[in-house]
Amino acid sequence: MHAGIAESFRDKIVLITGASSGIGEEMACQLARAGAVLTLAARRTELLESLAGKIRAAGAVEPLIVACDVTRDADPQHAVDETVRLRGRLDIVIANAGFGVVGNFAKLSVEDYRRQFETNVFGVLRSLKAALPEVAKTRGQLVILGSVAGWTASPGASPYAMSKFAVRALANSITPELAVMGVRVTLISPGFVESNIRRVDNQGQLHADAAEPMPQWLVAGRVGAVEQMLRAIARGQREVVVTGHGKLFVALERFAPWVLRAAARRMAATRGGYRTEPKSG
């Protein structure tokens, strides 16, 4: 991370949901090196303990660990309350927790869509609503992890795309509202980034041994992608699209949407138009 960007996070109190792996884990590592004081929130506290050990070994401030399932109303509030109780304030909240439900529309149930929204939409909403009163006191920042899928939807990913379109709409709506309160909102819209999200099944369970379904050349490295995200947060950008292919997809959606529609028709004609859930082994 550039020294100037790192300096902007020094001594900031930062809460990250979904911090146990992937983008959230890498954000925690880079922010800790920059001198931020972290609260790590996720369901899998054993992974948070391991991450906290790495941060501690690197000489950074010991993170606070909070068990948090964003689908439960009380959990995000508890994470915020514990942070303020032990740290005294809250400057930045990164609503990162999420996963992807995939499959052919005809085979998915309404419950599949509801499960997707409980984490990716209402989980974000719970986190932001819990944090806002405290972040407003510090005139801080709310960060939402969206996706390029919130710009352009592909066959076989309708629940995930719907959820990311929803949080993009949320970000666009609340950014001017919260600016009046002195609170900045940053939406991060990455393309394919190295993480475990594509190894999580439709029930939200991780299959660590599952193969990465995307070709390697299309998946951006986690370290560089997170550096771009943190640069955007430090600068208070309204939205940042991360990865070269992500920027290309968004540009096509805005200026040549027929190209993506034609590609989607071809995708739908092959293998039923959807990718299957990850399987272990």
Return mean pLDDT, the chain. 89
Q: Are 119 and 97 in contact (CB under 8 A)?
A: yes
Q: Which runs of E-coded beta strand occur in the chain?
A: 13-17, 37-42, 64-67, 92-95, 141-145, 184-190, 239-242
What is the band of 216 on the pLDDT scale with cuts at 50, 70, 90?
low
160 included as an active-site residue = yes
Q: Which of 9, 99, 117, 160 is flagged as catalytic?
A: 160
Question: pTM, whole model, 2 decimals?
Answer: 0.87
Give the number of other CB atoms < 10 A from CB of residue 222. 17
Q: Where are the domains of the chain?
A: 3-273
Residue 5 pLDDT exceeds 70: yes
Q: In the structure encoding, which two tokens stand for residue 281, read together? A: 């082994």
- The CATH code for residues 3-273 is 3.40.50.720
What mean pLDDT comes out for the span 127-139? 98
pLDDT digits (tens, 9 = 90+) for 248-258: 999 999 999 89
Classified as helix, coil or strand, 64 is: strand
